[in-house]
Amino acid sequence: MTSTNKDPILVVVQLTGGNDYMNTVIPYQDPVYYDSRKTVGVAQEDVLPISDDLAFNPALNAVKIMYDEGKVAVINGIGYPCPNRSHFRSMDIWHTCEPEKVGNEGWLGRAIRDLDPQAENVLTGVNFGRGLPRAMALTGVPVASVAVLETYGVLTGISGEQERAEALDLFSRMYSPILGTGPVMDYLGSTGLDALKGADILKTVPGQYQSSVEYADSIIGRNLQGIAKVLTANLGTRIFYTQQPGYDTHANQGPVHGVLLAHLSQAVRDFYDDLKEHNASENVLIYLFTEFGRRVKDNGSGTDHGAGGLAMAIGDPVKGGIYSEFPSMREEDLEEGDLKYNIDFRGVYGTVAEKWLGLDASSIVGGKFEQLDFV
């Protein structure tokens, strides 16, 4: 960890749909790769090598530059026992750290609780997107879920400024505790007031933000820029969350996947540069994950749901490099046609929770798992 007086901040980016690990970090020397990926394989001459065996997809050019600067940890073969190939169930497992039973509590919800046990700051956790990801859900832990920063809040349909201010004032009175109405009404009341408080603080953010960085236009770029605005406003947010959808590349993978990675890569670079300009990059760790990798063999157009996947940690505090091994692609080493995981994701979460956020990992990820030393 670099020495800094600022609180460590975590930015989680979820690549939704199951990012094709083997086409993101490519074993470009292995003939098995090219045998398995007759349609979607990336040609050897196009890849961006990061070691003798592994290379980035050419669309990750911006991330490759950061890799060369020692700011990117590539975490190979991440997964969990008995992999589930349903998007929703697998994503749930990544969100709750509960591969065996169905859990309702998110690991980041628990982290937010441990960072701010009295829930003093309603913005300790901020999600950019609609609804709350289960990863951040925990009863009693307020999290602001922001679709668009500029219009975040309740009663956004009221256009007149004065009129809206009056309506919000009324809203807050109508959500204030009323004696004897019971615990559920109380809970709705405090949740509503938390949302209001969060919105109240966040509404000042866009006006304060100035930057010379122009983000390339993409969904993930807009979301990361939103995060940069909140982060650089110093509101005490410790955990940010957002997602980039579209990774379910069963068909026509070639062009689609490349565009997604290019958007992601440029957005991460823009975000990093933006933080750097604000002297805020030293205490920010970006963590990318997906619910599963995809089948070793392509299906003639795209790839189907698989197992063992990829995570990355990016930023100044990261010790760059390649962590854990790329799983064997040989037929006899596969599990139902998929790469076998070799590092449990809960150990990687644990690394982030313990070595970066300074929290007790086992209560957050539900046990002790092998950690890595990328921070």
The position carrying tokens 């995981």 is: 341
**CA 216 – CA 263 distance, rounded (Å):** 8
Among 87, 203, 222, 319, binds other proteins (CB under 8 A): 87
Looking at the DSSP assignment, which residues form a beta bridge with residue 10?
239, 285
Task: Select from 67-75, 163-171, 274-282, 357-365 the region that touches other proteins (CB under 8 A).
Answer: 163-171
Q: Which of 356, 345, 352 is nearest to 308 (CA)?
A: 345
Among 62, 63, 111, 143, binds other proteins (CB under 8 A): 143
Task: Give the footprint of other proteins on residues 97-126 (CB under 8 A).
Answer: 102, 104, 122
CB of 130 to other proteins, least distance (A): 5
Which C-beta is closer to other proteins: that of 103 or that of 258? 103
Does 301 contact other proteins by CB under 8 A? Answer: no
Which C-beta is closer to other proteins: that of 191 or that of 362? 191
CB of 271 to other proteins, least distance (A): 23
**CA 117 – CA 144 distance, rounded (Å):** 17
Task: Select from 5-13, 182-190, 264-272, 322-330 the region that touches other proteins (CB under 8 A).
Answer: 182-190
Does 145 contact other proteins by CB under 8 A? Answer: yes
Amino acid at 281: S
Contact 371, 347 (CB under 8 A): yes
Q: Largest Cα–Cα distance of the chain, in whole Å?
A: 72
Task: Select from 63-71, 170-178, 267-275, 288-296 the region that touches other proteins (CB under 8 A).
Answer: 170-178
Enclosing H/E stretch for 258: helix 253-277
Contacts of 167 (CB under 8 A, 6+ apart): 155, 158
Does 252 contact other proteins by CB under 8 A? Answer: no
CB of 137 to other proteins, least distance (A): 6
CB of 336 to other proteins, least distance (A): 14
CB of 157 to other proteins, least distance (A): 4
Q: What secondary structure letter does DSSP report for 328? A: P
CB of 253 to other proteins, least distance (A): 18
Among 5, 31, 81, 130, binds other proteins (CB under 8 A): 130
Amino acid at 84: N
DSSP output for 270-315: HHHHHHHHTT-STTEEEEEEES--B-SS--SSS--B-S-EEEEEES
Among 170, 200, 300, 331, binds other proteins (CB under 8 A): 170
Q: Which class for 213: exposed (0-12), middle (13-18), buried (19 or more C-beta within 10 A)?
A: middle
Among 89, 214, 363, 370, binds other proteins (CB under 8 A): 89
Please report, for residues 9, 251, 301, 334, 336, the alpha-carbon distance to residue 295 in angstroms, rounded to integers and kept in the order given: 34, 13, 12, 10, 9
Task: Give the footprint of other proteins on residues 188-247 (CB under 8 A).
Answer: 188-189, 191-192, 194-195, 198
Does 156 contact other proteins by CB under 8 A? Answer: yes
Evaluated on CA atoms 52, 20, 290, 8, the torsion sign reads positive
Does 92 contact other proteins by CB under 8 A? Answer: yes
Chain centroid offset of residue 33 CA: 28
- Positions touching other proteins (CB under 8 A) are 86-89, 92, 102, 104, 122, 127, 130-132, 134, 137, 139, 142-145, 153-158, 166-167, 170-171, 173-175, 178, 181, 183-185, 187-189, 191-192, 194-195, 198
